[in-house]
Amino acid sequence: MNLAQPLPLRLVMIPVISRLRIGLLLLGVLLLLPGAASAQRTSGRGGSIRGNVILPNGASLNERAKVILQTDRGIRSNVYTDNRGRFQFDQLTPSIYEVVIETDGDRFETAKVTVEVFPGAPAIINVNLKEKKGKESTSAGTVSTGELDTAVPSPAKKEFERATDASKSGKADEAIAHFRKAIALYPQYVKAHNDLGAELLGQGKLDDAAEEFRRAIELDSKAFNPHLNLGIVLVQKHEFLAAAAELKTAVELQPNSPAARLYNGMALAGSNAADDAVRELRTAHELGGPTFAIALFHLGEIYMEKGERLLARQAFQTYLIEAPNDPNAPQARKWLDVLR
């Protein structure tokens, strides 16, 4: 699982609190901000879909893939992703659509996401690819031995699958119980340690979550998600220097991960490394686009602290264009009033 959805390793994005005001970052199989309420309004009556295709290791797809838009009446349109896995459909009649991603048939399963389009509003989605069973990852970025562990006994795998299903259904306590059973059956289960930590993180049990992430890292130092998740925990605990160290490793393992760049920027900002934080936050937005508009909000606050009013104003303005109903939007508007 990854990014709060089933993937090889799970990565949960939750709000964190630092000296910057941290907004909500919700990444999943389907990300709607949410529905029309959190979408950017446009001048026309038609809606749109903006999407990102994510590899199983958390990186953006770096090859062309066919994206099919269809309704219950058949195929509506086809486009192809760019070299960062992004795609877009414009001028859509408000309705419910299905987005289908057709990529390397030998490596990945066909991915499908259902999305509702509202008048004058873009629906923003992440579509996460799953590797076909029995296939090892050949996607971009570092793939650890723990991610490809073939020694996991069948009973432990079954408990992991039960945990995954429970997590998808929002049954966190049940998921935690099954993850613990999987680990009891196979203590070296890197993915189970990571995913258990992710569930605990979602419940606000930071110390318990950190323990699971550290155990996963001890078992496999090249596993990307435990480093990222541990960094998130440390940012939330305001342990910014330690967080920056973990997130530096995460960035080295997956340089194209916008989530790693975002949280690394937050950790660096909390460590008073403003220039480095600006670099990472800019990169997070470049890689993730509007899905990571929150990076612009943090940039605006850093620019304000540095006295760079023009840059701060530009960051806040772009943030409000991309995420006008984000929880931090009211504060961004207040800052813009101050900066005028």
Mean pLDDT of 226-230: 95
Report the percent of the chain where pLDDT is more than 90.
Answer: 46
Helices vs. strands in the chain: H and E counts, helices first: 11, 7
How high is the mean pLDDT of the chain? 80
If you count them, how many residues does the chain have? 340
CATH code for position 86: 2.60.40.10
Domain-embedded: residue 178: no
pLDDT at position 105, please?
Answer: 61
Q: Which of 141-145, 291-295, 324-328 shows the lowest mean pLDDT across its residues?
A: 141-145
106 CB-contact burial (10 Å; exposed 0-12 / middle 13-18 / buried 19+): exposed
Domain-embedded: residue 72: yes
Q: Whole domain around residue 107: which residue ranges?
A: 47-128
Domain-embedded: residue 188: no
Residue 219 has phi, psi (to 5 degrees) of -75, -35
Q: What are the tens digits of pLDDT across the range 129-154?
A: 887 765 443 333 444 545 555 688 99
Domain-embedded: residue 310: no
Range 65-70 contact pairs with CB under 8 angstroms and sequence separation of 24 or more: 65/101, 65/102, 65/103, 66/101, 66/102, 66/103, 67/99, 67/100, 67/101, 67/102, 68/99, 68/100, 68/101, 68/102, 69/97, 69/98, 69/99, 69/100, 70/97, 70/98, 70/100
108 with 132: CB under 8 angstroms? yes
- The rounded distance, in Å, linking the Cα atoms of 237 and 13 is 15
pTM for the whole thing?
0.62
307's torsion region: left (phi>0), alpha (psi -120 to 50) or beta?
A: left
- Above 90 in pLDDT, residue 256? no
Q: How far is CA 339 from CA 164, 212, 215, 298, 317, in A?
A: 47, 44, 46, 15, 11
Domain-embedded: residue 155: no
Tally of CB atoms within 10 A around 158:
14
State which of 101-105, 124-128, 319-323 shows the largest mean pLDDT: 319-323
Contact partners, residue 87, CB within 8 Å, separation at least 6: 50, 51, 53, 67, 79, 80, 81
Give the total number of structural domains in the chain.
Answer: 1
Domain-embedded: residue 302: no
Q: What are the tens digits of pLDDT across the range 31-62?
A: 222 232 333 333 345 788 988 888 877 777 87
Collapsing DSSP to helix, strand or coil, 80 comes out as strand
Mean pLDDT of 314-331: 91
Domain-embedded: residue 205: no
Domain-embedded: residue 75: yes
Structure-token match 């569930």, residue found: 199
Q: What are the tens digits of pLDDT across the range 71-109?
A: 766 777 888 888 778 899 888 888 888 899 987 666 788
Q: What are the tens digits of pLDDT across the range 1-36?
A: 443 333 334 444 333 333 343 333 333 322 222 232
Q: What are the tens digits of pLDDT across the range 185-213?
A: 999 999 999 999 999 988 899 999 999 99
70 or 174: which leads in pLDDT: 174
